[in-house]
Amino acid sequence: MQEVEIKINKSSGAESIKLNLPTCWNELSGKQLLYVSKFWFIWKEFIQENISLTKARALLFLELTNITSRREKKRLCFALSFINEQTDVNILDTTNFIFGELTLTKNLLPSIPVGFFTKYYGPAEKLVDINISEFSFAFACYSNYLKTHQETHLDKLVAVLYRPKNKNYKTTGELRVDFNNKMITRYEKKTARLPREYKHAVFLFFKGCLEFLASEKQFPQVFNSGNEKKYSGGSFIDAVVNMSGGKFGPFDTTKNQNLYIILKELRELIIANSKTQTK
């Protein structure tokens, strides 16, 4: 977080307003992420069509201030109206990170409401607590949405990653019930009714985690991050099938292995295969 002080000279005297603003995606609040996800796709279209984002960035800035009082927001807007070319800082630059690289890896929506008294719970930061089967289904939903832009794939993506609370949480430490691909359709009936910004927020979180996994310090050999619409992993279930019977045991055991364990194994296999081909 950063503290921003706005100093404004008015005829009635100098005025100073101090604000605490996020500096990266992971510092957003859940409420702020929902606001961003509501407009993120529209903003991308504006950028592609060279449409000015000044008004959008101004409204985004107000959201990032986390001011909830209408009176305080009105006061801030009034103060900002005095900013001119002589002002030291372009206050809208504080929103730049939203329009740059997507670095969201923290799940800012650990739970989502799917009924009056019902919540579904999502994965941990950087997807550290999901297995390779769950990831494979989520990745397929993500890829299908990029190809078709049909919202039903977002409904499925949320239904894969978010599930009911595990009643044995205190004993097992697992917040969600175990992933079962046969339950996706049942969960989807509820996730389909979510406001679109929730679905987009889950999409942005998953996309941010993919970018992290594809980074140079993680598993670039497994993922090809050169094109955001195409990763070289193919079907991860196919990879699990090929690995079954080896060090992780039969298919049913292998598919339940933690995502990071399988990605590390795939990375080693790819590196070893590359060295063999170069000999």
pLDDT value of residue 246: 76
Average pLDDT over residues 99-126: 96
Share of the chain above pLDDT 70, in %: 87
Which band of pLDDT confidence, cut at 50, 70 and 90, is reported for residue 168?
very high
Dist CA 204 CA 34 (whole Å): 10
Radius of gyration of the chain (CA): 22
- Tell me what pLDDT residue 259 has: 95
Q: What is the pLDDT of residue 28?
A: 98
Question: What would the DSSP string read from start to end of 53-114?
Answer: -HHHHHHHHHHHTT---HHHHHHHHHHHTT--TTSSS-GGGGGGGGGS-----S-S-SEEE-
Number of other residues whose CB lies within 10 A of the CB of residue 57: 20
Q: What is the pLDDT of residues 239-253, one digit of tens each?
A: 777 777 778 888 788
**pLDDT recorded at residue 71:** 80
Sign, CA dihedral 143-273-212-239, equals positive
Instruction: Give the model's pLDDT for residue 81.
Output: 67
Supply the mean pLDDT for the chain. Answer: 87
C-alpha distances in angstroms, 227 versus 20, 115, 232, 246? 35, 37, 10, 32
Q: Give the tens place of pLDDT for each residue, 57-83.
A: 888 998 999 888 888 777 777 766 665
The Cα–Cα gap between 172 and 122 comes to 16
Q: How many CB atoms lie within 10 A of CB 116?
A: 5
Lowest mean pLDDT segment, chosen from 12-26, 46-60, 214-228: 214-228
CA–CA distance, 161 with 163 (Å, rounded to integer): 7
Of the candidate ranges 88-97, 164-173, 262-271, the one whose mean pLDDT is the lowest: 88-97
Counting every residue written for the chain, the total comes to: 279
Three-state secondary structure call for residue 249: strand
**CA 55 to CA 27: how far, in whole Å?**
23
pLDDT at 236: 76
Conformational region of residue 173, where left means phi above 0, alpha means psi within -120 to 50, and beta covers everything else:
left
Residue whose tokens read 């993922």: 223
- Give me the sign of the Cα torsion angle 139, 141, 144, 149: negative
DSSP state of 195: -
Q: What is the mean pLDDT of residues 1-10?
A: 76
* Type of residue found at 64: L
| Mean pLDDT calculated for residue range 125-134 | 96
- Give pLDDT, residue 68: 80
What average pLDDT does range 206-226 have in this prediction? 86
Q: Are strands 119-121 and 111-113 parallel, antiparallel or unpaired?
A: antiparallel
Return the H-helix or E-strand segment holding 2.
Answer: strand 2-10
Higher pLDDT pick, 231 / 251: 251
Q: What is the pTM of this model?
A: 0.90
Calculate the CA 177 to chain-centre distance. Answer: 21
